[in-house]
């Protein structure tokens, strides 16, 4: 499974990229707004840090303007992935961009039928939002299971399942068990993956015992 980080905070990305397990980055208009910076500058800086795919989302809602914005964004760096919404115009833009060999992340997916259409449009990545489905009383992971099953039935569909709107480590583990290709996580959730109270307690006990020996390794 690949790990993407869902943020436009360059300092967070620099910190996590040093770990070696960061495979890509996803951004959206809300994250760009939170950064308080120009989108072109932020995306360029992120692409310098992370060699993997970096999603930059168009703000347009009609096909022609999406393509125009995509032409600007894709020039920022070779690893820019154009992010488009799951609408008719978005899927049309997806097909055009994929015909140009541009990576495309189709976002705001909330149903298996939408995911099937995105794959048929040639999407590089499909981004189902599990947390937002949970918020309205549904089980977001059911959608991931459905998409993974459908895609596995048709090997000619090469779209990768990028699980988005992740709220907890449990989402990550369930997605991995279902065979999802990628998860994109907020930095705080990514850091939670390493935490376990038994690890903390065990380390504390080991250090206390070691101190009592009076020894030093160096």
Distance of CA 46 to CAs 38, 75, 88, 102, 200, Å? 12, 14, 29, 18, 33
Q: Of 33, 83, 191, 211, which one is the catalytic site residue? A: 83
| Residue 140 in tokens | 């977001």
33 is an active site residue: no
Per-position b or e across 109-139, b if 16+ CB within 10 A of its CB:
bbebebbbbbbebbbbbbbbbbbebbeeeee
Scan for tokens 């380390």, then name that residue. 203
Q: Where in the sequence numbering do the catalytic residues fall? A: 83
């Amino acid at each position: 499974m690949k790990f993407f980080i869902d943020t436009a905070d360059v300092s967070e990305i620099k910190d996590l990229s040093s770990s070696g397990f960061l495979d890509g980055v996803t951004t959206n208009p809300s994250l760009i707004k939170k950064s308080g910076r120009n989108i072109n500058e932020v995306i360029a800086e992120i692409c310098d840090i992370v060699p993997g795919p970096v999603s930059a989302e168009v703000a347009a809602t009609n096909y022609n303007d999406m393509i125009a914005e995509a032409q600007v964004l894709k020039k920022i760096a070779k690893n820019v992935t154009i992010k488009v919404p799951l609408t008719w115009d978005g899927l049309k833009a997806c097909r055009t961009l994929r015909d140009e060999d541009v990576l495309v992340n189709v976002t705001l997916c909330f149903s298996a039928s939408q995911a099937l259409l995105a794959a048929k449009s040639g999407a590089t990545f499909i981004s189902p939002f599990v947390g937002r489905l949970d918020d309205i009383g549904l089980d977001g992971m059911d959608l991931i299971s459905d998409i993974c099953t459908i895609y596995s039935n048709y090997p000619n569909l090469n779209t990768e399942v990028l699980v988005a709107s992740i709220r907890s480590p449990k989402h990550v583990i369930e997605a991995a068990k279902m065979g999802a290709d990628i998860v994109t996580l907020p930095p705080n959730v990514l850091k939670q993956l390493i935490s376990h109270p038994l690890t903390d307690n065990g380390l504390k006990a080991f250090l206390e015992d070691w101190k009592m020996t009076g020894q030093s390794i160096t």
